[in-house]
Homo-oligomer: A and B are copies of this chain.
């Protein structure tokens, strides 16, 4: 009597749903009524009411049976499970969210999706979130603090259970984030972080990244190494410039302030990079090498040099942060600082889920520091 609808194949105990279910390619979704004939009708899902009605029991019994409660007899359980399977019942996540006051979704704010580094991070986040039954809502700030605030507003209004964020370049006032944090929203920061909010964070050893890159150039014999960096506000900027400065010092070179150029919008505005490169190249003593401290800056810098007819590495060396998997295919093959982006994403979501699912308040926060890799290419040569 409970087969008055399309017979389905698999229904899972809601507790273990989507865990290695093996389903045939057909009729997986028959939890929905067939109503798609001529009229355009919203397909309606099977609910516990349908099961209850079909079996002549109460919804409480169905609910408890599905959750394998001890107060339901084995026979009834079997009946309910069987019927749920037949109707291909699937629990309504929205109703559950309302009841449990959690959305099982997390928000991710990055400045740009179409950027290798961030898309790889998102890849890592998504892979784990998916397995844990969370969905990921992605928002882009486009390096604008205004947009970042709107993103957070939006995500907050969609009542996400947690947040993973890399700050926009414009963000020096973080009160909008602080507000959310104060209200108890679990937050994990990555890449561009701030100490002002006490929470977990995931970064690479930025200092080490530029230190090694600078050291590499110094060992090659370069004497006038310039740096093109992001906005001074960003954590990554000072850290990366720190590694650059320390390496210079370690090798007995004096730090030259005019060799450091900042791009406030980190290359989102291309003319920024052009200006920076132009200013460097028109110095009385132009640099013989450039370190670019982010993906967009690295490619933008190479693009500018190329367009100006400046040969790399013959006229100038170029080393930079880059997570594109085609760095070796570039002209020249770039020597790059590569970040373990996928792992960063995984670390971030793991820390976030830990925060979200923690029963008791978390007071000890972790700053997970991963190690970047210097991938040697041909964008610097031996100068002697």
Spell out A's residues near B (CB within 8 Å). 17-18, 21, 23, 25-30, 32-36, 38-45, 90-95, 97-98, 101, 103, 105, 112-116, 119-120, 122-123, 126-127, 130, 135-140, 145, 149-150, 152-154, 156-159, 173, 175-176, 179-185, 299, 302-303, 306, 324-326, 328-333, 358, 360-362
Let me know if A25 and B136 touch, CB within 8 A: no
Let me know if A183 and B36 touch, CB within 8 A: yes
Bound CA–CA A136/B137 (angstroms): 6
Partner of A126, one of B113, B158, B360: B113
A360 neighbours in B (Cβ, 8 Å) = 40
Bound CA–CA A229/B338 (angstroms): 30
Let me know if B119 and A130 touch, CB within 8 A: no
Give the number of times this chain occurs in the complex, counting copies.
Answer: 2
**Minimum distance in angstroms from A109 CB to a CB of chain B:** 12
Residues A153 and B358 in contact in the complex (CB < 8 Å), given A119-B113, A126-B138:
no
Residues A33 and B330 in contact in the complex (CB < 8 Å), given A92-B159, A97-B94, A135-B158:
no
Let me know if A138 and B139 touch, CB within 8 A: no
Name the residue among A18, A41, A94, A325 with the largest chain B CB count within 10 angstroms.
A94
**Minimum distance in angstroms from A40 CB to a CB of chain B:** 3
Bound CA–CA A344/B67 (angstroms): 44
Bound CA–CA A119/B120 (angstroms): 10
Partner of A179, one of B27, B119, B145, B306: B27
Residues A329 and B302 in contact in the complex (CB < 8 Å), given A32-B183, A123-B113:
yes
Partner of A137, one of B34, B135, B333: B135
Nearest residue (CB) in B for A104 is: B158
A183 neighbours in B (Cβ, 8 Å) = 29, 32-36, 43
Bound CA–CA A237/B221 (angstroms): 50
- What would be 26 A-B contacts, judged by CB atoms less than 8 Å apart? A18-B150, A21-B150, A25-B173, A26-B179, A27-B179, A28-B153, A28-B176, A29-B176, A32-B183, A33-B183, A34-B182, A35-B184, A39-B361, A40-B358, A40-B362, A43-B185, A92-B159, A93-B158, A94-B94, A112-B123, A122-B138, A126-B140, A136-B138, A302-B326, A330-B331, A331-B332
Let me know if B140 and A180 touch, CB within 8 A: no
Bound CA–CA A28/B152 (angstroms): 10
In addition to A95-B98, A127-B140, A303-B329, 13 A-B residue pairs with Cβ atoms within 8 Å of each other are A25-B176, A32-B183, A40-B184, A42-B101, A94-B97, A114-B123, A130-B154, A136-B138, A299-B326, A302-B326, A303-B328, A324-B324, A330-B331
A332 neighbours in B (Cβ, 8 Å) = 331
Nearest residue (CB) in B for A171 is: B25
Let me know if A156 and B114 touch, CB within 8 A: no
**Minimum distance in angstroms from A116 CB to a CB of chain B:** 7
A299 neighbours in B (Cβ, 8 Å) = 325-326, 329
A130 neighbours in B (Cβ, 8 Å) = 139, 154
Nearest residue (CB) in B for A323 is: B114
Let me know if A98 and B101 touch, CB within 8 A: no
Partner of A184, one of B41, B135, B158, B325: B41
A145 neighbours in B (Cβ, 8 Å) = 25
Bound CA–CA A154/B299 (angstroms): 37
**Minimum distance in angstroms from A18 CB to a CB of chain B:** 6
A185 neighbours in B (Cβ, 8 Å) = 43
